[in-house]
Amino acid sequence: MLIIPSQPMAKELPTFYRLGETPAEIHIDSVEENKNAALSLAKQARHSIDIFTQDLDAEIYNNSEFEHSLFKLAKRHPNTRIRILSQDSKKAVQNGHRLIKLAQTLTSSIFIHNPPREFKSEQCAFLVVDQKGLLYRVNANNRNYKASINFMAPMRAGKLTDFFNEVWEHSTPDVQTRRMYI
């Protein structure tokens, strides 16, 4: 299991979190807090978003605000990179997940892949933005929403990005999420 140690919990939370500027480690445990953290990070992204997930976490990522943030990022620059590694997208496909539809529309900016077999047992889930900010859940099984957020953690974000890149190199495009042409 990939575990990235976090800093001690911040005593006082700042009122406004800025990507690349606010170094406080924040601990959360509800789906709503995870959703808000992911949205805040995505809205501030300038170059890249990497998501490692069990099943596209509909409770966190399947909403119009998050979809719109990714759309704006993808349209901002032709070199923008949004990569999603999903262990199992079957339920997300059946339920019409917004990120799948967006990836089918923006095929040159948003990519959904499946990790290779040797990483299928990985229990964590994370979102890394611009290799600076992160939302990290040690155990994403059984809808465990205990997570840490940091808007300025380049060392931890770098380790997660290195892990993501390693998995991505051996991943395959998710055939369940591909756009069908008739």
Output phi, psi for 85, to 5 deg. Answer: -105, 115
| pLDDT (0 to 100) of residue 9 | 40
Mutual angle of helices 64-76 and 31-44, in 10-degree steps: 20
| pLDDT (0 to 100) of residue 154 | 97
CATH architecture classification, 25-177: 2-Layer Sandwich (3.30)
Q: Are 136 and 147 in contact (CB under 8 A)?
A: yes
| pLDDT (0 to 100) of residue 12 | 37
CA distances to 118, 143, 144 from 54, in Å: 14, 10, 12
Could you give the CA distance from residue 62 to residue 95 in angstroms, rounded to a whole number? 10
Domain boundaries of the chain, sorted by first residue: 25-177
- Please give the average pLDDT of every successive group of 10 residues along the chain, which has 182 residues: 46 63 92 95 96 96 97 92 96 95 94 95 95 96 90 97 98 84 46
Give CA angle at 81 (87, 95), nearest 5°.
40
| pLDDT (0 to 100) of residue 177 | 86
Q: Are 138 and 28 in contact (CB under 8 A)?
A: no
Torsion of CA 94, 96, 102, 107, to 10 degrees: 20
| pLDDT (0 to 100) of residue 25 | 93
Question: Could you read off the pLDDT of 95-113 as tens digits, one per residue?
Answer: 999 999 999 999 999 999 9
| pLDDT (0 to 100) of residue 14 | 43
| pLDDT (0 to 100) of residue 2 | 52
Q: Which residues of 107-124 are buried (b: 16+ CB within 10 A; e: fewer)?
A: eebbbbbbbeeebeebbb
Q: Are 88 and 171 in contact (CB under 8 A)?
A: no
Measure CA 152 to chain center. Answer: 16
Mean pLDDT (the chain) is 89
Interstrand relation of 25-28 and 147-150 (parallel, antiparallel or unpaired): antiparallel
Could you give the CA distance from residue 37 to residue 17 in angstroms, rounded to a whole number? 10
Question: What 3-state class would DSSP assign to 12?
Answer: coil
